[in-house]
Structure 1
Amino acid sequence: MIETGKSLNVTESSIPGLLVVDLPVHGDNRGWFKENWQRSKMLELGLPDFGPVQNNISFNDAVGTTRGLHAEPWDKYVSVATGRIFGAWVDLREGPSYGTTFTVEVDASRAVFVPRGVANGYQTLEADTAYTYLVNDHWSPDASYAFINLADETAAIDWPIALDEAETSAKDRAHPRLADVVPIPRLKTLVIGGGQLGTALRSALPEADVVTRSTLDLTKPSDFDAVQWNEYDTIINAAAYTAVDTAETPEGRRAAWAVNVEATARLARIATENRLTLVHVSSDYVFDGTAETHVETEAFSPLGVYGQTKAAADALVSTVPRHYVVRTSWVVGEGQNFVRTMESLAQRGIKPSVVDDQFGRLTFADDLAAGIRHLVETKAPFGTYNVSNEGPVMSWADIAREIFDIVGVGKDAVTGVTGAEYAAGKSLAPRPNNSALDLAKIEATGFVPRDASEALRAYLQS
């Protein structure tokens, strides 16, 4: 008898990511009707937007027909069209939940979302049961599968009908015990880029794969084709053409568009086709700097070629269903940068002239990497987020004076000049006068960056 009168509801099981869905069933003298899969309603209740590409139906004649337990490298959404089953699932993914078992009875008023790597099995409790499931990838003989025996003692599934009385296949009866199962590897994160941020991400995400230009040339489409994208669930694009001044030359312009736009377009397509999360690092240069503080929704207004390419890339990434555009400014990490340059000048007794009419906040690469990790791990709502360090907005000259003070030389050694004065006689790209980013959105997710001055002192004293 089908249970009617339920409200649409999603509950978590003992297996991470395995969700039980109660479905409203509407019936009258003619029969019954239900919305078996309703994307917008179910996403609102917490089901992932898993993108099914195939619908399969398994018809079972007799009570006690038992199938499984099979774990595939894709997600599935299982339910019954007619009849009733006893469903059993065992987590065969690498990690702390490996071997966890969950069971529940399923009729037409209930469905179960089964994440990749969780073994699925069932036993029919009524004759003429039609078991149906949506999957988000096509079957492939090359995919990584895992199986566990229906009678495994560790899983200890309490089948309603004893297995020696049930209808099973010889193949299912030959599956290995849990101790002999090869776990399905968890999906990984791919970090692209080996600069200051790439180095920081390598520390923040030690389990991630990191590729640099030597192994993945962003200007070569064939390099993208060589990557096994089905091994990943997240791409972090920390690579970019950042030679702001050279980008204004004919050769630099072509290089900037090739790396910052064409390569990003390939990543956006790959992420969309493979249902991956794409994290893309953006820049304050997408704005002209006329606003004192920039919010995520401000319209693009880049002044130079570099900013134009970054704005174009932001627009491309925003079309990916699962995306984070992480906008930042004035990045400082391992290697040569403004802070190390000023430190070196101070130590050598050189008194520099530094621009004092361009304002913003430093972003230390470790904090930027931590913010990216926070967004991905907490599954924050997709979209654009500003990330820099906290604290007062300062000019480049203000920051230089702090550096000289920390080093012990004294602030008076730094002279302030206008951007126009500094650029006189040089071939420099235009720069936004105001680069400060509003941090309310990222902080509302629970991530509060360090104060920039405190981070600066720790960086110089490390």
Structure 2
Amino acid sequence: MSTAFGKQLERIETPIPGLVVFELPVHGDSRGWFKENWQREKMLALGLEDFGPVQNNISFNDAVGTTRGIHAEPWDKWVSVATGRIFGAWVDLREGPTFGTVFTTEIDASRAIYVPRGVGNSYQTLEADTAYTYLVNDHWSPDASYSFLNLGDETAAVAWPIPLADVEISEKDKAHPRLADVTPIPPKRILVLGASGQLGLALRARFGDAAHIEYATRDDIDVTASDLSSARRWRDYGLIVNAAAYTAVDLAETPEGREQAWAANATAVAALARVADDHGITLVHVSSDYVFDGTVDGAYDENAPLRPLGVYGQTKAAGDLAASTASRHYVVRTSWVIGEGGNFVRTMHSLAERGIDPRVVGDQFGRLTFTSDIADAIAHLYESDAAYGVYNVTGSGDARSWAEIAREVFRLGGHDPERVTAVRTEDYFASATGPVAPRPRNSRLDLTKIIASGFSPAPVDDSLRAYVAGLKG
């Protein structure tokens, strides 16, 4: 009996990122032994991600020296031994700076190892009647993308205890390529929805056009369709960014607009949350200051009660709640968004250039948020593994009214800011012929939480200056 009794549950890092060895407590006596081979709560407490296993496989090996691998699959594994003992070898076959890194160790019943997707897995049995067992978080598929490495690759140079010339290896394993010819496993896919909108364009600029990143519009994927669960091989995705929304605030007050707003801002988000939760995907959902009524003094933090005034705000609040049902979610709440295409700053700059003196609302206060800042914040939250939840993201600095911002746009463009007249919200919309949605008078969002995560929102004044300079150019 080679299994060690009395170990404490312990996590041991390896040179391969995400590949983690666990020492397992095994309790035994003359009758045999018992162990908790996989205990979700305890593993999560030690920092292992909740990888969601869906299948358990066992490979029984009769003879000493049975050698299998090196295989890198597009799913995660929890590898352990029920009986016997193995020499395990793992090689990082993922794209990136650690490609080709090797780790080896022995595994018996008192040890297990978590193997992330893309890390090549192989073993050689050191005892007869070895039962090698592994949990995986996806079902085998012919469409999955695999990579393989030859067991005898000279670059990896695995120090097999029993020379490969003395063991039986399958013809398939013998034919695997050397490291120089291996096709690296790409990162999990990223799907950006709403790719043609202001934020979608900023996300494209931030994430780039790598092969594993997909930008989609409503024409590309209907998230409310009944076949959404099979619309993609979702297990290949690590992140969905929902930058799509119905944003016609006033039209949302009409019967047709109300239906469209609920479909895009709530029903679609619920469908995405189900897909994300079923497949271990991180969901980023972009929300709005309109989920609040704007009546409080000071800034709204992430835990402020939802109290939307109009249909648009109601649908965005419902979307926030739907997104939060996904285990891995970030709700990014923002305000007064400025990016490419039509927006308030661009309109004010155009009016100034054309000699038009506007009347602008002067009793609603908030901060502008430039889409590049939102895109950077989303990337930060995902890449830094920040705690899941709701985060406010706007530009930093003092809150201002729309009229004050308009005057600043005029000034930055070389025009007289006094040409802008501040008016009350009621007076501004007094002549409107269609429906007018209620607006929150206070849209200040507290930035303490996003700053504590390590992200520094750009000062609004600096961003506005650069934006107007770009319009002038």
TM over 0.5: yes
What's the counterpart of residue 34 of structure 1?
35
- Selected match of 2:256 from 251, 274, 277: 251
What's the counterpart of residue 415 of structure 1?
421
Q: Hey, which bits of structure 1, 4+ residues long, moved more than 6 A? A: none
- Selected match of 2:292 from 287, 294, 301: 287
Question: How is 1:68-147 mapped onto 2 (pairs within 5 angstroms)?
Answer: 68-147=69-148
**How many equivalent pairs are there?**
462
What's the counterpart of residue 164 of structure 2?
163
State how far apart, in whole Å, the 2-side matches of 1:277 and 1:152 are.
36
What's the counterpart of residue 265 of structure 2?
260
SS in 2 for 1:164: helix
Question: How is 1:200-279 mapped onto 2 (pairs within 5 angstroms)?
Answer: 200-206=202-208, 207=210, 208-218=213-223, 220-221=225-226, 225-279=230-284
CA contact (8 A) 1:216 1:224 kept: no
Q: Shift of the alpha carbon at 1:303?
A: 0.6
State how far apart, in whole Å, the 2-side matches of 1:328 and 1:11 are.
40
Q: 1:275 to 1:171 in 2, by over 3 A?
A: same
Which ranges of structure 1 fall in alignment gaps of 5 or more residues?
Answer: none
- Selected match of 1:328 from 334, 337, 341: 334
- Selected match of 1:346 from 348, 352, 374: 352
SS in 1 for 2:199: helix
Tell me which moved more, 229-238 or 163-172. Answer: 163-172
Q: Shift of the alpha carbon at 1:353?
A: 1.6
What's the counterpart of residue 11 of structure 2?
10
CA contact (8 A) 2:24 2:111 kept: yes
CA contact (8 A) 2:223 2:271 kept: no
SS in 1 for 2:462: helix
SS in 1 for 2:120: strand
State how far apart, in whole Å, the 1-side matches of 2:238 and 2:139 are.
17
Q: Shift of the alpha carbon at 1:164?
A: 1.7
SS in 1 for 2:166: coil
State how far apart, in whole Å, the 2-side matches of 1:144 and 1:450 are.
40
Which ranges of structure 2 fall in alignment gaps of 5 or more residues?
Answer: none
- Selected match of 1:428 from 436, 450, 455: 436
State how far apart, in whole Å, the 1-side matches of 2:368 and 2:300 are.
15
- The CA deviation string for residues 378-403 of structure 1, in whole angstroms up to 9 with x for no partner, is 01011111100110111111111211
1:298 is aligned to 2:304:
yes
Tell me which moved more, 46-55 or 19-28. Answer: 19-28
SS in 2 for 1:416: strand
- The CA deviation string for residues 93-116 of structure 1, in whole angstroms up to 9 with x for no partner, is 223322221111111221111111
Tell me which moved more, 176-185 or 392-401. Answer: 176-185
Q: 1:335 to 1:181 in 2, by over 3 A?
A: same
State how far apart, in whole Å, the 1-side matches of 2:381 and 2:7 are.
34
Tell me which moved more, 386-395 or 215-224. Answer: 215-224
RMSD of Structure 2 on Structure 1 (CA)? 1.7
Q: Which amino acid aligns with 2:436?
A: L
CA contact (8 A) 1:359 1:436 kept: yes
Q: Shift of the alpha carbon at 1:420?
A: 1.4
Q: Shift of the alpha carbon at 1:225?
A: 4.3
- The CA deviation string for residues 7-48 of structure 1, in whole angstroms up to 9 with x for no partner, is 222232222221111222233343332222111221122211
CA contact (8 A) 1:343 1:404 kept: yes
CA contact (8 A) 1:81 1:132 kept: yes
State how far apart, in whole Å, the 2-side matches of 1:276 and 1:74 are.
13
State how far apart, in whole Å, the 1-side matches of 2:172 and 2:218 are.
46
Counting aligned pairs with the same residue, the percent is 65
